[in-house]
Amino acid sequence: MRKRDREATRARLLEAARLRFARDGYDATSVRDIAGDSDVDATLIFRYFGSKKRLFEEATAADLAPDLLDGPNEELVARMVRTVVDQDWTEYGGEHPLVALLRSSAHEDTRRHLREEVCHTYVNALRDLAEGDDAELRAELLSAWLVGIGILRSVVATPALARARTADLAPHVAAVATGLLGRPMSGAVDRPEA
């Protein structure tokens, strides 16, 4: 019973931390805030995680692109857009986990983690699809556009992007991705019929 309580408390702390860090960023989030949200004493954070920094690392160590590389290559960009637009990120306050990292990017460790996530998850996959000499540059340009879509949707909340669904974006995604990658890309993800 004691082990289960420990695991449940740890899970509650991680859940509260994800929401706080996503909404407020690292600097604006205190250990007391997270403990209060979890209805526990702040000392438990240090007992379970050792430090606020370690809690942040665990709380933001999500799989940013579930099943991203599964499926046809020509649908990769559409799958990326779908993770930003249609993926349920409730545990991060409804925003993509990259937003939490961006809100905390004043710290070198976070910038390094963000760079690794974006480069290894997005840029490398797009670079491998790009045709031509400057594939890396075009992959980074497309990645910047995709990250910008996420920021305008959730942080800035521009009206058209905030209410747009993947299907609304599909023709534009296809046009931009095809132009930048130099090969036909789809803006929509075909779903197998049931």
Q: What is the pLDDT of residue 194?
A: 43
* pLDDT above 80 (res 182): yes
Output the CA–CA distances (angstroms, integers) from residue 18 to 67, 116, 167, in the order listed.
Answer: 21, 19, 29
Q: What is the pLDDT of residue 38?
A: 92
* pLDDT above 70 (res 30): yes
CB 14 within 8 A of CB 59: yes
* pLDDT above 60 (res 61): yes
CATH entry 2.60.40.10 includes domain 2-59? no
78's CB contacts (< 8 A; 6+ apart) are 166, 170, 173, 174, 185, 186, 187, 188, 189
* pLDDT above 60 (res 49): yes
Comparison of pLDDT for 164 and 83, the residue scoring more: 164
CB 97 within 8 A of CB 64: yes
121's CB contacts (< 8 A; 6+ apart) are 64, 65, 68
Average pLDDT value over all residues in the chain? 84
Q: What is the pLDDT of residue 181?
A: 94
Residues 123-138 have a mean pLDDT of: 91
Domain extents for the chain?
Answer: 2-59, 73-181
Give the predicted TM-score (pTM) of the model.
0.73
pLDDT tens-place string over residues 66-112: 577 788 889 989 888 888 787 766 766 666 677 767 777 777 777 78
